[in-house]
């Protein structure tokens, strides 16, 4: 009896710990499974964070050119928004933050054109057939540009040991002031066209302004009267080169009224070249229009060789007697007493002064339903060395 009771008690006591261990193990496995799930979730989150950091580091490691382009985008977007809709909030914000010339608000209304458009216009102007391409071009911030010219000679004389030296001549310095005038263009576009996001409004505006400015400049640099525009070199009095004095331009006559000399037509070209001082001939160029060029390129020397030669490579100017030829259509045609050909060092003889900024004012009211863009630029030009330019006059004398 006692043994059976003892055995029964032992079995019950032996099953108790086994059940507890099993229950505990079951609970542990359940908790471990939950821990694994939570761990996988956290690892996934960490992986996502690392991927985001990698993408940011790749973006920050872009080439410098891309970064520069991204930095330019806010102003380009702001300027485009101003052209399309007149929204200038972004431009004002940029001007306050950057204090840059390209985003400055003009005191008299309008905005300075963005650098990319300004570069486009400048390159077109320089590439146009204008005196600008061979003249001395300076950029100024003032309302005028002064050129100081020493065109007289200092005196000198021989002396011996005992003779008293006499006073010699003193050089005189002249000041040539080139005032800046306002050149303007007023292209227009429909609001519907401006609303089209695929329309390159900046490129269109640059092309229209460049075309207008280049034509206006080219004419004024040659024949401008100096009243609210540059002074052209042909507006100065032309005198026989043998009687030339400072303030006038010297000319060489062809020997025939309204034409070249019938016997030796090329002689006038040779005389024109050597009427210019030797120190100017090294950088000299001919200037004439297409009709005159058509007549000149038929000329031959005494040995039957053409005086005219075309450029050897694309973009190179034609040459006459070895000197480059600028075809400027605003030069006069061959006619009686016309000075249809100019020859000289225009880099020394003619100066173009301009302000570097170009202002744009948007006007959506004056030409509804079109939008007007009033573009202005300050520019001036004048002869800066009267000895550096000579003219060919189609006259007997």
Ordered by start, the domain boundaries in the chain are 2-61, 122-152+167-397
Percent pLDDT > 90 in the chain is 38
pLDDT band at 73 (very low <50, low <70, confident <90, very high): low
6 DSSP assignment = H
Q: Which pLDDT score, from 0 to 100, does residue 10 have?
A: 46
Q: How confident is the model at residue 85 (pLDDT cuts 50, 70, 90)?
A: low
371 token code pair: 């939008």
Q: Is the pLDDT of residue 368 over 70?
A: yes
Q: At which residue do the structure tokens 């259509």 appear?
A: 329
Q: What is the pLDDT of residues 249-268, one digit of tens each?
A: 999 999 999 999 988 888 99
Nearest partner of 187 among 357, 361, 358, judged by Cα: 361
Q: How many CA atoms lie within 13 A of 322 on its CB side?
A: 5
The CATH number of 122-152+167-397 is which of 3.40.50, 1.20.1510, 3.90.1690, 1.20.120? 3.90.1690
* Of 249, 235, 319, residue with least CA distance to 285: 319
CA dihedral 336, 338, 339, 341 (to 10 degrees): -80
Q: Which of 41-50, 223-232, 385-394 has the lowest mean pLDDT?
A: 41-50
Q: What percent of the chain has pLDDT over 70?
A: 70
Segment of 93-107, 163-177, 345-359 carrying the highest mean pLDDT: 345-359
pLDDT at 150 (0 to 100): 75
Write down the pLDDT at residue 138.
93
Provide the residue count of the chain. 397
Is residue 394 scored above 80 in pLDDT?
A: yes
Most confidently predicted of 115-124, 163-172, 180-189: 180-189
pTM: 0.69
The pLDDT confidence band at residue 99, using thresholds 50, 70 and 90, is very low
Say how far residue 77 (Cα) sits from the centre of its chain. 20
Q: How confident is the model at residue 108 (pLDDT cuts 50, 70, 90)?
A: very low
- Which two three-digit tokens encode residue 226? 């100096």
pLDDT at 376 over 50: yes
Of the candidates 234, 229, 216, the residue with the CA atom closest to the CA atom of residue 379 = 229
Higher pLDDT: 13 or 379? It is: 379
Mean pLDDT within 208-237: 93
Instruction: Band the pLDDT of 44: cuts 50, 70, 90.
Output: confident
Across residues 338-345, what is the average pLDDT?
Answer: 97
Average pLDDT, whole number, for the chain? 79
In which band, very low, low, confident or very high, does the pLDDT at 171 lie, cut at 50, 70 and 90? low
Which band of pLDDT confidence, cut at 50, 70 and 90, is reported for residue 342?
Answer: very high
Closest CA to 307 of 295, 290, 291, 289: 295
Distances (CA, A) of 125 to 28, 182, 215, 294, 348: 84, 16, 9, 25, 20
Residue 62 banded pLDDT, cuts 50, 70, 90:
very low
Distance between CA atoms of residues 243 and 249, nearest Å? 10
d(CA 104, CA 112): 6
pLDDT of 104 strictly over 60: no
């Amino acid at each position: 009896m006692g043994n059976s009771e003892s055995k029964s008690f032992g079995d019950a006591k032996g099953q108790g710990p086994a059940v507890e261990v099993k229950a505990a193990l079951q609970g542990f496995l359940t908790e471990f499974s939950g821990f694994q799930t939570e761990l996988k979730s956290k690892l996934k989150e960490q992986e996502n964070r690392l991927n985001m950091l990698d993408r940011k580091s790749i973006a920050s490691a872009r080439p410098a050119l891309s970064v520069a382009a991204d930095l330019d985008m806010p102003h380009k977007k702001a300027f485009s928004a101003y052209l399309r809709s007149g929204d200038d909030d972004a431009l004002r914000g940029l001007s306050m933050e950057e204090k840059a010339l390209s985003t400055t608000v003009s005191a008299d209304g309008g905005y300075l054109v963005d650098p990319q458009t300004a570069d486009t216009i400048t390159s077109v102007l320089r590439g146009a057939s204008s005196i600008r391409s061979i003249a001395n071009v300076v950029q100024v911030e003032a309302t005028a540009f002064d050129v100081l010219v020493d065109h007289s000679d200092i005196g000198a004389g021989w002396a011996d040991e005992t003779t008293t030296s006499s006073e010699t001549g003193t050089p005189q310095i002249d000041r040539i002031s080139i005032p800046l005038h306002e050149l303007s263009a007023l292209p227009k576009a429909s609001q519907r066209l401006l609303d089209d996001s695929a329309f390159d409004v900046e490129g269109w505006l640059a092309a229209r302004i460049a075309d207008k400015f280049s034509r206006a400049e080219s004419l004024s640099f040659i024949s401008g009267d100096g009243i609210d525009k540059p002074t052209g070199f042909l507006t100065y009095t032309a005198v026989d080169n043998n009687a030339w004095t400072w303030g006038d331009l010297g000319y060489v006559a062809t020997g025939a009224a309204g034409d070249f000399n019938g016997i030796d037509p090329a002689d006038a070209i040779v005389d024109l070249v050597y009427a210019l001082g030797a120190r100017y001939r090294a950088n000299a160029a001919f200037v004439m229009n297409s009709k005159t060029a058509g007549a000149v390129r038929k000329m031959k020397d005494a040995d039957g060789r053409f005086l005219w030669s075309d450029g050897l490579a694309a973009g190179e100017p034609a040459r006459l007697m070895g000197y480059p030829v600028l075809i400027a259509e605003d030069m006069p045609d061959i006619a009686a007493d016309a000075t249809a050909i100019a020859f000289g060092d225009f880099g020394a003889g003619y100066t173009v002064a301009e302000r570097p900024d170009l202002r744009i004012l948007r006007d959506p009211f004056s030409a509804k339903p079109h939008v007007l863009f009033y573009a202005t630029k300050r520019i001036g030009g004048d002869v800066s060395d009267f000895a550096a330019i000579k003219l060919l006059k189609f006259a007997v004398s």
